[in-house]
Structure 1
């Protein structure tokens, strides 16, 4: 089943076409790298996927929602079906790991404390960070913080995980560990679209390649 489908989509920013005639599809269990130079439109694509930028030309669907006519009230429900992992972590450094994760669950409508705690323990176990539940974020290494970010991203069982340069601030050995974790999640069924310049690590973790160049996005066989 397609979790993302763009057909001849043009994405405008301030009335100017940034990406034009984009056609791509991702299904459950797909793993795709989005490559391209800085400023080529990778972030624009991400912003359109989570309905921050409107789709005015073409047909776009994500996680069962039409992006062409999605209502503002439905945008939060769309985003609950997506996971986000960022290069700069974006964790709440004044809180411990548990409170970082419970904040997300509470913000997305969960109210039962026991269920919240159980789900947090589940995702921390998935990313190998069970022993960090009470630790302050600022006491964790970069790799550990990124694992917490991945745990946060999968709290609501997303059908599509968007990762924007997730290994950009990590050394090669830790980068490979993080990428292997992404692959494990992918093998469990989560579709992953990852923007990255980390070519060495990408070559070790198989996936499809989509290149962002000249205002378009197209598949390439290798990097």
Structure 2
């Protein structure tokens, strides 16, 4: 009995809306990998570009999945074209397309429940760390220098991730997979309290307590 193998087809998909800085690329990566698709996803000048190759059923499932991604992702439109198949080795997150464009930067996002749980857990390495965030929350607009949204174009460019943060960034199962602002007390920004002359007086939790004391006394921070 002869078995027919479905022919692979390749689509180039341009996605517009709030799709940069919201964990969109990691979600596309996980979805495409689960569907057995090859190709790539990357930030583009006007949103995100996906090239996906596989069976018609898998490609239809990908398009349906893109429309169901949860907030803060907001897909405003999809443009889809057939392109010649390529010899990709799996699915990857590719380097961003640079240059002027019309991508939509997101506002800063309130801490998610998972980050708040870490913040309050004395056993967590991010306990009481005020700059924790993940792909679902944290600063966006306030740290962006330019688009596309990648770490080297944000205020986080000056902070080199430690080994633990780098491992999270590279782990497709982590909610910090490809999270551009990923940091912890060992490698990220820290609170510093200075007097009016700019002399450092305290760091971290003591800096926060010192600032609160000034405010309670009617002063300005």
**TM-score normalised by structure 2 residue count:** 0.29
Structure showing the higher strand proportion among its residues: 1
> Which structure exhibits the higher relative contact order, with contacts defined as CA atoms closer than 8 Å and separated by 6 or more residues?
1
More helix by share: 1
TM-score (norm 1): 0.29
Task: Determine which structure has more spread, i.e. the larger CA radius of gyration.
Answer: 2
